[in-house]
Amino acid sequence: MTRPRWLAVVGLSVAVTRVDGHQLDELLQSTKLDVSSQRVSVALTLSPGTAVAAELIRELDGDRDARLSPEELRQFGLIVMRDLALTVDGRPAAITLVRAESSSIEELGDGMGALRLQFVAAGPLPPGQHRVRYQNVHASDGSVYLANALEPTDRTVEIGRQRRDYFQRSLELEVAVAPPHQRAAGGVMLAAAVALLVVTRGRRRLRVLKPLRSLR
């Protein structure tokens, strides 16, 4: 969500926005956290408005050849990484850049492109209650932020309460990790329940079919 921008000046100011509500003079930074028992993944998407795209492109395209090479994207990703912080239970967790991709320079310049970075902090998270906190202070002047947690695909992990600061530069999660045997037990119980349902339906079907057969 774009934060309010209060103007204390005399005169008229017109805010130009895109159709999707992203302001053209802002850099939108959207983060998605994916927590599993083995790692925490951070997917960060940077979407520049047209008024700030040129500055971002200059920062990306170091050799000024109007192309974004894998090495240039990697170097930019490392710069951004220095402005990110991830802690687990109050202790810093080292993150690693694992992917850096970008739309073309033309798309970025038109305000329709995005830069996608993915970072990983190795686990594991032992069974129990944990607190995962993420913070992004990259390009804080002129940026707006979104921060969300993905629904875990790891069935031993459950996301509880989520806390964000006003600008969504930080996100804190309450995470519960179940012991592996509970996951196995849950899977066995689910399989047993499905099997019982199949057998019950089969018996009901036989009760319906028997009278029909006796009419022949």
pLDDT for 123: 84
Band of pLDDT at residue 122, cut at 50, 70 and 90 = confident
Is pLDDT at 1 greater than 60 in this prediction?
A: no
Domain edges within the chain:
27-177, 181-208
HSE-CB for 201 with a 13 A CA cutoff: 6
Pick from 20-24, 30-34, 46-50, 185-189: least confident = 185-189
pLDDT at residue 10 tops 50: no
Question: Residue 203 has what pLDDT?
Answer: 58
Report the pLDDT value the prediction gives residue 16, as an integer from 0 to 100.
42
Distance CA 196, CA 203 (A): 11
Euclidean distance between CA atoms 66 and 61, whole angstroms:
7
Q: How far is CA 58 from the centre of its chain?
A: 26
d(CA 8, CA 12): 11
pLDDT digits (tens, 9 = 90+) for 74-110: 999 999 999 999 999 999 999 999 999 999 999 999 9
The residue assigned the tokens 């992004």 is 136
Burial tier of 133 (Cβ tally within 10 Å: 0-12, 13-18, 19+): middle
Look at residue 51 and give its three-state secondary structure: helix
Q: What pLDDT is recorded for position 204?
A: 57
From the centroid of its chain, how far is CA 117? Answer: 11
Closest alpha carbon to 88 in 44, 46, 33: 33
Quick one: pLDDT at residue 212? 41
Q: What percentage of the chain carries pLDDT values higher than 70?
A: 74
Q: Which pLDDT score is estimated for 200?
A: 55
pLDDT tens sequence across 152-209: 999 999 999 999 999 999 999 999 999 987 654 445 454 555 555 555 565 555 454 4
Greatest CA separation for the chain: 94
Provide mean pLDDT across the span 11-20.
40
